[in-house]
Amino acid sequence: MSTIITKDGTEIFYKDWGARDAQPIVFHHGWPLSADDWDNQMLFFLGRGFRVIAHDRRGHGRSTQTSSGHEMDTYAADVAALAEALDLKNAFHVGHSTGGGEVVHYVARAKPGRVGKAVIVGAVPPVMVKSDKNPGGLPIDVFDGLRSALVANRAQFFIDVPTGPFYGFNRPGAEVSQGLIDNWWRQGMMGGANAHYECIKAFSETDFTEDLKKIDVPVLVMHGTDDQIVPYADSAPLAVKLLSNGTLKTYEGLPHGMLSTHPDVVNPDMLAFFKE
């Protein structure tokens, strides 16, 4: 397996496919998944001449199940270490859900020349949890419920999420894919329970407002209106207003996991953005 070792000794697993001199795209997965969640997109862009890279966040997938570092500062530092090790220049960074937060946090801090463009899909910025500053957010009780369900029976919880709201399979007339459900469960159970537990705080309570304001590269913000995990109204439209060079692409009726349920719709839009 390909890995890098960070300053604190954590092994970060990554995939790196394609010609080394091709335009690199780095994919950042959502909670509680792994680089495998990007199989469709990696094959799509590899077939179009890009170099595609995806890593398992610490505590997730095949990376070290660390006891600490499950917050955005460390996640972004791990991405910086990967970019340094692979000497990525002008890379395009694509993040889904929690991975979208990771992208925003990293890009706002990246060394000059490392990042060319970014895409965030169904992403958590600006901030998910409800507060006086974010009255449209989700109550902390929602996230406490996620933590409780994870502690009580992580294996069952990781069946319930993809079977229901993640892919919109709980909607009338939804075309349910058992393969997607099983693969979600497989990826989730590869990771560490402590990492998944602590990451809930990272994705729900981190405020990315200042990060979004700092980013000057072009950013495509993609979001489905039927996202039951990261509600549309309190995320994408607010995030794009904070970006100096942001574009909002809204998908009517599509779910949080639209990268997997509707890649035929989403992938060409990303490709068009990359070719601009």
In the predicted model, what is the mean pLDDT of residues 225-231?
98
DSSP 138: B
Q: E strands of 187-241, at which residues?
A: 219-224
pLDDT 10s digits, 150-170 = 999 999 999 999 999 999 999
Q: State the pLDDT at residue 225.
A: 98
Q: State the pLDDT at residue 137.
A: 97
The answer to whether 137 and 129 have CB atoms below 8 angstroms apart is: yes
Intra-chain end-to-end CA distance of the chain, in Å: 34
What SS3 state is found at 2? Answer: coil
pTM of the model: 0.98
pLDDT 10s digits, 85-129 = 999 999 999 999 999 999 999 999 999 999 999 999 999 999 999
The answer to whether 219 and 119 have CB atoms below 8 angstroms apart is: yes
Residues with a catalytic annotation lie at: 97, 227, 256
Q: Which CATH architecture has domain 3-275?
A: 3-Layer(aba) Sandwich (3.40)
Q: In the structure, what pLDDT confidence band is assigned to residue 257 with cuts at 50, 70 and 90?
A: very high
DSSP code per residue over 61-93: TTS---SS--SHHHHHHHHHHHHHHHT--SEEE
**CA 202/CA 98 separation, integer angstroms:** 8
- Cα–Cα separations (whole angstroms), residue 62 to 3, 34, 41, 207: 9, 8, 20, 28
User: Taking the domains of the chain in order of start, what are their residue ranges?
Assistant: 3-275
Torsion of CA 157, 162, 164, 166, to 10 degrees: 120
